[in-house]
Amino acid sequence: MVDPTTLPRPRATHVALAVVLQVRDAELQVLLWERARQPHAGSWSLPGGFLSPDESLEESIRRHLADKVDVRELSHLEQLDTRGAAARGAEEWQLATAYLGLVPADVDPALPADTAWHPVDRLPQLAFDHEAIALAGRERLRAKLSYTNVGFALAPAEFTISQLREVYAAALGHAVSATNLQRVLLRRRLLEPTGARRAPGRNGGRPAACFRFRARKLEITDQFAVLRPPQPGG
């Protein structure tokens, strides 16, 4: 019998991928690029690529993202997941480390012709296991919207509570009360007024106060909090 410990160990290649999310047209959307080569030519995939020997994982994903979007537009980037199932590569054992990147709702980065935004709730056919990774990024974001201040990375630098409610509703996938959202975020001291006001819309009303997030880096604000969908009749 062959001792398995004496067999040569397969060497894995390593890629870095990014789930880049932004609220666009009142929907949470993910950045995808269309593959021109096999395997999976014609399918969409998450941006990314192979690591170079002289770079870290974060340096690698920032380099690959720079080919698709201005990385200066990213307001937040964090490591999301590492996957290494034997079947995830077409012809080789391939490790994939995914990152979650967020872009504020008020910017519109220039994209190359093979790259586009797609609603996370209506993904096209994705290569490899990229659909599962994209959905994992959405779930990580939704969880962190409850117990951190990560909303700063999706919202404009200055906003009304109504505008912030639209961002949270799109990211969470359910309706959000502007009154409750303001109460929760102010109680946690996540927001501060800017002193500016926005003119009322077509329906009239008083000018709306403008706010901003106090911090623009990730902070845990309430580790046990959960932003839940509204209850029927509530």
What CATH number has the domain spanning 12-137?
3.90.79.10
Structure confidence at residue 25 as a pLDDT band (50, 70, 90): very high
Query: Is residue 198 pLDDT above 70, yes or no?
Result: yes
Structure confidence at residue 228 as a pLDDT band (50, 70, 90): confident
pLDDT of residue 164: 97
Structure confidence at residue 7 as a pLDDT band (50, 70, 90): very low
pLDDT of residue 113: 94
Q: Which residue's entry shows tokens 């102010």?
A: 186
pLDDT of residue 229: 80
Q: Residue 23 corresponds to which tokens in the numbers above?
A: 């609220």
Query: Is residue 75 pLDDT above 90, yes or no?
Result: yes
pLDDT of residue 85: 66
Q: What does the angle CA 9 – CA 15 – CA 17 come to, to the nearest 5 degrees? A: 145
Query: Is residue 136 pLDDT above 60, yes or no?
Result: yes
Query: Is residue 153 pLDDT above 70, yes or no?
Result: yes
CA distance linking residue 87 with residue 90, whole number of Å: 7
Per-residue pLDDT tens for 203-218?
656 889 999 999 999 9
pLDDT of residue 204: 59
> Could you give the percent of the chain with pLDDT greater than 70?
87
Please choose, from the candidates 172, 65, 85, the residue with its C-alpha nearest in 3D space to the C-alpha of residue 132. 85
Give the distance, in angstroms, between the CA of residue 154 and the centroid of all CA atoms in the same chain.
Answer: 9
Which is higher by pLDDT, 126 or 226?
Answer: 126
Ordered by start, the domain boundaries in the chain are: 12-137
pLDDT of residue 177: 93
CB < 8 Å & 24+ apart, contacts of 50-59: 50/13, 50/14, 50/15, 51/14, 51/15, 51/16, 57/16, 57/97, 57/99, 58/99
How many CB atoms lie under 10 A from the CB of residue 3? Answer: 6
Query: Is residue 67 pLDDT above 70, yes or no?
Result: yes
Q: Which residues contact 48 (CB under 8 A, 6 or more apart)?
A: 15, 16, 17, 18, 61, 64, 65, 96, 98
Rg (the chain; Cα; Å): 21
Structure confidence at residue 183 as a pLDDT band (50, 70, 90): very high
DSSP-assigned beta bridge partners for residue 121: none
pLDDT of residue 91: 61
Q: What is the dihedral of CA 153, 157, 163, 164, to 10 degrees?
A: 40
pLDDT of residue 92: 64
